Structure 1
Amino acid sequence: MAPCMAASVLGSPVFDLFLLVFHFFCLTNTISFTRDELLNIRQNTPQDLTDINYSDVLLNVVIGGAAALMKRYRTCRRVKRVGVLVRLRKCAFQTPLPSIHLANLHSLPNKTDKLLLLSRTNKDFSHSAALCFTETWLNDAIPDSALHLPGFQLFIADHESTGKSRGGGTCFYINERWCRDATVLKKMCCPDLEVQFVNCKPFYSPWEFNLFILVSVYIPPKAQVSLALQKLADQITETEQQHLDSVLIILGDFNKANLSRELPKYRQHVTCPTRDSNILDHCYTTIKDAYHSVPRAALGHSDHCLVHLIPSYKQKLKSAKPVVRTVRRWTSETEQDLQSCFDITDWSVFEAATTDLDELTETVTSYISFCEDVCIPTRTYLIFNNDKPWFTVKLRHLRQAKEDAYRNGDRALYNQARYTLNKENSAAKKTYAKKLENQLTSNDSTSVWRGLRAITNYKTPSPCTEANQ
């Protein structure tokens, strides 16, 4: 206990101020003693030690400095605390993927009070970007005001078209601090499948994700699994074609169904049992290791536990270092310079200096590379692994112009720069799509395979990976 108290005293600003003032006083008023006076200091105390007169100006300076130092210390501590709170508040919604809670409720109206209490007492729940609930048992007789959750936007897909009087229904609660631009793309409801697509454009998203499409799914226990999966796969494929840059997050109660059998590229991320020892509630994305599932206590008398899906995906910009690439800038002038270099070259020198065809080939090739290095200028640039293939240098300049207009506060220039950037971005996407189409329709097999790799994002495995396999 004593060392801790000593450390706290030594680290306090008051103690530092005392040492500073004491040192200043010692320098301005020096007192000297003889050997006899030091030996008899108890009996003979010199008057100079106690009768020290300091001017009022010096005293005001010392007191003012102490007050300013204490005020600055308190301000720094306050700013530090506020900075920590602001940083935590921002980081809660600046993850690459949204944090989601998933559950089968067995009637949402009976659990509204529990959801409200949970949002007030549990930070993980209140900071969740989205809440996905299935078997809400909702109908037109229940107003949306009775289901309101402060800070969340509600999207309902009821079950009336299935012909059932009870059961089914899905809904989304979208956190307004994560996204306010959320709209329903489409809904589908039949006896074998209930599905809802919600398009979300959050305030923050990584460069590789433009928007998120959340899909709530409920497949009843008595449904025809193959027919339900086929309908769901058709809806997902159609949505992917309409929104090429989107990330689909498919959530819900699948019971006996498994979407990976119909769409193998989608991975299932819920690994904890959701009802007894069975995993009935699923989460699918095309991203490897996107989520880590954690079971929570069930809401009310529901027999399904509440699943917290924590993002574990690491965005591309942080997963790998940028690649440094050097390219040659070929122009008509540089080609003429290179041709002139070849014209003045005496090629017979290489034939006389070599005795073997392989040696001659290697020598001539090295000389040609040397001439290219001399005549053709090069340019070095960085390639980030989250760069879009259609994002050209022109688009980079337009984006920088948009940022400059925003910082300068010129609203008219900012709107014009944003419009130009969006227009050029759409044109660049169409040009890139035509390029891929031409590669696939050409008679060149190399171009065809290159186009297939670009579409499927296939990467050739490294030799180390093949050796380990």
Structure 2
Amino acid sequence: MLDRLKIAHFNTRSLIAHFEDVRQLLHTESIDILCLSETWLNEAIEDKNVVIKDYCLFRVDRNDGRRGGGLMVYIRKHLKISVSKIDVKKPCDFEYMFLKLNLGGKSCILGLIYRPPNYGVNTCIEQMDELLSQLIPTSDYFMLMGDVNVNMLDVTNRLNLCCSNYGLTQVIDVATRISRFSESLLDPIFMSFPEKKLDHGTVDIHFSDHRLVYVTVNLKIPRFKQKFVTVRNFKYFNHDMFLNDLLSLTWHDFYRAERIDEKVNLFEENIQYIFNLHAPFRTYRVSKPRAPWLTDDLRLMMRERDNAFSKFRISNSEEDRLKYKELRNNVLYRVRQKKKE
């Protein structure tokens, strides 16, 4: 299984114009997955014109006649992962593409977005909230990146608050677009699994006014050492039969014993004999570590959240959506709180 994965993004402002630079960048920076925004491709440009050896590609073009836009993802072919494009049929004021990666038994959704600067921020954030509420519950890991044209150096901005409500952490911490008069972080990387981050940063590239942003993640799942636990099995325990056998015990030897330690041993032998009949010992193999923070109360909250999500998927009503969002946010808050305890 792949242990490390380097994922990067930058705004290319025409892939055709900078195709050779992009090809060189993939190899010099050893990038496994490269996400591009503003490819400026359209349906007239075939895949064969933008193919890079040893990489497969996924693209979403802007085909409404306007110049600009477009998204592309290059994924190294030798990676032992399966990739599928998620068909999200939801009209949005920003461009997006979501891919589902199968990482050795774990699923990860990789999202790429581009919000043109003239599209309303608040409307886009509301639409993003809708997408996140649909997608995040369907995978083990979630990652979102792109050019959002919102300055993420202001950590109180609404986009950051929206994503943090879903347990996503923004890992890029320096400006990604620098002009003579301003510095801004327009190219964030949001992750639901920041604990697996090995490295992150930015790289200056001469053919774009945006820096490349990247994150390297550790995908190696630590092997849990199996252990065996022996406990009494009460699956077929019958309370009435147990009491009946307990009352039928003979205690002659117990009463004839003169020393106290003999009486204790005889008492324990009789009781254990009855327990062994009705609740014999059984050895279990524990193959997964226990999550101490996952309490019964939290399991109940998760079940209620999942039921609300299923109801919303069927009804698609605003009332059910708001109910699901409330329960989802409560679960996220409680999980974070429990993990800190």
Report the CA distance between 1:195 and its aligned residue.
Answer: 0.6
Which position in structure 1 is the counterpart of 2:15?
Answer: 108
2:94 partner amino acid? L
**Structure holding more strand per residue:** 2
Q: Distance in 1 between matches of 2:177 and 2:199?
A: 14
1:234 partner amino acid? E
- Quick check: 180-189 or 213-222, which moved more? 180-189
Is 1:94–2:25 an aligned residue pair?
no
Which position in structure 2 is the counterpart of 1:428?
Answer: none
1:274/1:295 contact within 8 Å kept: no
Q: Distance in 1 between matches of 2:216 and 2:198?
A: 5
Report the CA distance between 1:275 and its aligned residue.
Answer: 1.8
Report the CA distance between 1:453 and its aligned residue.
Answer: 5.3
Which position in structure 1 is the counterpart of 2:173?
Answer: 271
Which position in structure 1 is the counterpart of 2:47?
Answer: 144
Deviation string for 1:167-217 (max 9, x for gaps)? 22111112211257433222679673111122333xxx344x1x3322111
Q: Distance in 1 between matches of 2:188 and 2:68?
A: 19
Q: Distance in 2 between matches of 1:324 and 1:193?
A: 52
1:182 counterpart (80, 83, 102): 83
Identity percentage over the alignment?
A: 22
Report the CA distance between 1:222 and its aligned residue.
Answer: 2.5
Deviation string for 1:288-315 (max 9, x for gaps)? 3333553353334201111221104663
2:98 partner amino acid? F
Q: Distance in 1 between matches of 2:99 and 2:14?
A: 21
1:254 partner amino acid? V
1:200 partner amino acid? L
SS of residue paired to 1:118: helix
Report the CA distance between 1:286 and its aligned residue.
Answer: 1.9
Q: Distance in 2 between matches of 1:368 and 1:237?
A: 55
Which position in structure 1 is the counterpart of 2:190?
Answer: 284
Where does 1:315-326 land on structure 2 (aligned, <5 Å)? Answer: 315=221, 317-318=222-223, 325-326=229-230
1:217 counterpart (113, 128, 135): 113
Instruction: Check 1:302–1:332 CA distance in 2 against 1; reply closer, same or farther (3 A cut).
Output: closer
Which position in structure 2 is the counterpart of 1:328?
Answer: 232
Which position in structure 2 is the counterpart of 1:295?
Answer: 201
Report the CA distance between 1:336 and its aligned residue.
Answer: 6.8
1:302 partner amino acid? S
List runs of 5+ in structure 1 lacking aligned partners.
1-92, 348-366, 389-445
SS of residue paired to 2:58: strand
Is 1:248–2:142 an aligned residue pair?
yes
Where does 1:10-89 land on structure 2 (aligned, <5 Å)? Answer: none
**Structure holding more helix per residue:** 1
Deviation string for 1:422-446 (max 9, x for gaps)? xxxxxxxxxxxxxxxxxxxxxxxx9
SS of residue paired to 1:148: coil
1:338 counterpart (221, 242, 249): 242
Q: Distance in 1 between matches of 2:46 and 2:274?
A: 78
Instruction: Check 1:258–1:112 CA distance in 2 against 1; reply closer, same or farther (3 A cut).
Output: farther
Which position in structure 2 is the counterpart of 1:306?
Answer: 212
RMSD of Structure 2 on Structure 1 (CA): 4.0
Q: Distance in 1 between matches of 2:298 and 2:79?
A: 40
Instruction: Check 1:272–1:382 CA distance in 2 against 1; reply closer, same or farther (3 A cut).
Output: farther
Deviation string for 1:47-66 (max 9, x for gaps)? xxxxxxxxxxxxxxxxxxxx
Which position in structure 1 is the counterpart of 2:135?
Answer: 239
Q: Distance in 1 between matches of 2:337 and 2:49?
A: 54
Instruction: Check 1:186–1:278 CA distance in 2 against 1; reply closer, same or farther (3 A cut).
Output: same
1:237 partner amino acid? S
SS of residue paired to 2:188: strand
2:215 partner amino acid? L
Which position in structure 1 is the counterpart of 2:123?
Answer: 227
1:198 partner amino acid? L
2:236/2:279 contact within 8 Å kept: no
Report the CA distance between 1:268 and its aligned residue.
Answer: 1.4
SS of residue paired to 1:113: helix
Report the CA distance between 1:252 and its aligned residue.
Answer: 0.8
Instruction: Work out which of the two has the higher radius of gyration on C-alpha atoms and give 1 or 2.
Output: 1
Q: Distance in 2 between matches of 1:146 and 1:152?
A: 13
SS of residue paired to 1:114: helix
Q: Which structure ranks higher in relative contact order (CA pairs < 8 Å, sequence separation ≥ 6)? A: 2
**TM-score, normalised by the number of residues in structure 2:** 0.67
Which position in structure 1 is the counterpart of 2:100?
Answer: 199
**TM-score, normalised by the number of residues in structure 1:** 0.51
Instruction: Check 1:181–1:107 CA distance in 2 against 1; reply closer, same or farther (3 A cut).
Output: same
Is 1:377–2:283 an aligned residue pair?
no
Instruction: Check 1:179–1:375 CA distance in 2 against 1; reply closer, same or farther (3 A cut).
Output: closer
Q: Distance in 1 between matches of 2:36 and 2:118?
A: 20
Q: Distance in 1 between matches of 2:173 and 2:143?
A: 16
Q: Distance in 2 between matches of 1:296 and 1:449?
A: 39
SS of residue paired to 2:87: strand
Q: Distance in 2 between matches of 1:112 and 1:188?
A: 30
Count of matched residue pairs: 284
SS of residue paired to 1:252: strand
1:132 counterpart (35, 43, 46): 35
2:144/2:191 contact within 8 Å kept: yes
2:26/2:34 contact within 8 Å kept: no
Report the CA distance between 1:225 and its aligned residue.
Answer: 1.5
Is 1:172–2:79 an aligned residue pair?
no
Report the CA distance between 1:150 and its aligned residue.
Answer: 0.6
Where does 1:385-400 land on structure 2 (aligned, <5 Å)? Answer: 385=288
